[in-house]
């Protein structure tokens, strides 16, 4: 049977984003929450891995910040073959670092395969492999596990911080991680036939939350997809209500905000 990969997008967005896990206020952009990046990468990674023949399980599929114990139990119960946790760092440094358990040679190899691909294929600086023995998702999971901090939310100049909402960068992180996972399992990585154009396709998630007060083409697309609304490109109370109804019908958390999960249900 195909290998099963547990995918963990660190932290959460709803009903309130995880406190402290965000960028400083970036001029012209605002605040970016860590989970916006983590969940986007996990969504892309999910697609990449399935195309390469893996099965996946999302251990935190909703907007809420799922407790670590739940994430770990979900992966252990499903007997996943590997556990991949996606994060973005804070503390004022720069670059990507990848964690593994020093008592697990398979965990180290998994982390090494992914880290080498990510540092080769993205513009991020290389901070190296690190012991993750203190990290719950690495210590308490039964399978080889790794946690990747793809960059810093508060790097000097906020260069890496701004990349968090760049769909091309999010996708690149997912592609490189998928290549590393393929290498670890000895599975050949198959390229997406439309990979060159897919990040600019209008149906792919724009990379930041669309909510009350948002305006523009993406809002028009949402209004058209929901139906029964005037397509004016202005996200007002009527659009918000229609989003909530749609979320309730589709088993999503009902916050009236279009994030990646709602977007992907609207534009499958
Ligand atoms: Zn984090």
Burial of 249 (0-12, 13-18, 19+ CB in 10 A): exposed
The whole-number pLDDT of residue 236 equals: 93
Strand partners, 7: 58, 84
Q: Which CATH number fits domain 4-185: 3.40.630.40, 3.30.365.10, 2.60.40.10, 3.40.50.720?
A: 3.40.630.40
Domains 4-185 and 209-266 alike in fold: no
- Ligand 1 mean position to 239 CA, how many Å? 32
- Ligand 1 mean position to 148 CA, how many Å? 9
What strands lie across the sheet with 82-89, from one edge to the other?
A: 55-58, 4-9, 82-89, 145-152, 96-100, 126-131
**CA distances, 208 to each of 57, 65, 88 (Å):** 24, 18, 16
- Ligand 1 mean position to 1 CA, how many Å? 32
Residues within 5 Å of ion ligand 1 by Cβ?
10, 87
pLDDT digits (tens, 9 = 90+) for 102-126: 999 999 999 999 999 999 999 999 9
For the chain, give every domain's residue range: 4-185, 209-266
What are the two backbone dihedrals, phi and then psi, of residue 83, each rounded to the nearest 5 degrees? Answer: -125, 125
The pairing of strands 4-9 and 96-100 is unpaired
- Ligand 1 mean position to 249 CA, how many Å? 30
pLDDT digits (tens, 9 = 90+) for 167-193: 999 999 999 999 999 999 999 998 875
- Ligand 1 mean position to 98 CA, how many Å? 12
Provide ipTM, 2 decimals: 0.99
- Ligand 1 mean position to 110 CA, how many Å? 20
- Ligand 1 mean position to 252 CA, how many Å? 23
Looking up tokens 């260069």 gives 159
pLDDT digits (tens, 9 = 90+) for 30-60: 999 999 999 999 999 999 999 999 999 999 9
Domain 209-266, classified CATH 1.10.101.10, yes or no: yes
Interhelix angle 105-121/167-185, nearest 10 degrees: 140
What CA dihedral angle connects 159, 165, 168 and 172, to 10 degrees?
80
- Ligand 1 mean position to 9 CA, how many Å? 9
Closest CA to 132 of 154, 151, 166, 104: 104
């Amino acid at each position: 049977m195909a290998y099963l990969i547990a995918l963990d997008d660190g932290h959460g967005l709803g009903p309130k984003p995880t406190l402290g896990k965000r960028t400083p206020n970036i001029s012209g952009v605002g605040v970016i929450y860590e989970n916006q990046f983590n969940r986007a990468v996990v969504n892309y990674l999910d697609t990449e891995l399935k195309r390469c023949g893996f099965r996946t399980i999302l251990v935190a599929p909703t907007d809420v910040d799922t407790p670590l114990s739940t994430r770990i139990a979900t992966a252990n119960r499903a007997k996943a073959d590997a556990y991949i946790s996606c994060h973005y760092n804070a503390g004022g440094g720069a670059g990507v670092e990848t964690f593994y358990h020093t008592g697990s040679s398979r965990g180290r190899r998994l982390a090494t395969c992914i880290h080498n691909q990510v540092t080769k294929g993205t513009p991020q600086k290389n901070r190296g492999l690190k012991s993750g023995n203190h990290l719950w998702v690495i210590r308490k999971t039964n399978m080889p596990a790794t946690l990747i901090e793809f960059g810093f939310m508060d790097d000097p100049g906020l260069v890496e911080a701004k990349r968090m909402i760049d769909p091309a960068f999010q996708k690149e992180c997912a592609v490189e991680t998928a290549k590393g996972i393929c290498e670890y399992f000895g599975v050949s990585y198959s390229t997406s036939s439309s990979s060159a154009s897919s990040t600019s396709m209008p149906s792919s998630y724009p990379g930041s939350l669309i909510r009350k007060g948002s305006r523009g083409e993406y809002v028009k697309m949402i209004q058209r997809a929901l139906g029964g609304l005037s397509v004016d490109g202005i996200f007002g109370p009527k659009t918000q209500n229609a989003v909530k109804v749609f979320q309730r019908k589709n088993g999503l958390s009902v916050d009236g905000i279009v994030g990646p999960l709602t977007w992907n249900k609207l534009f499958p």
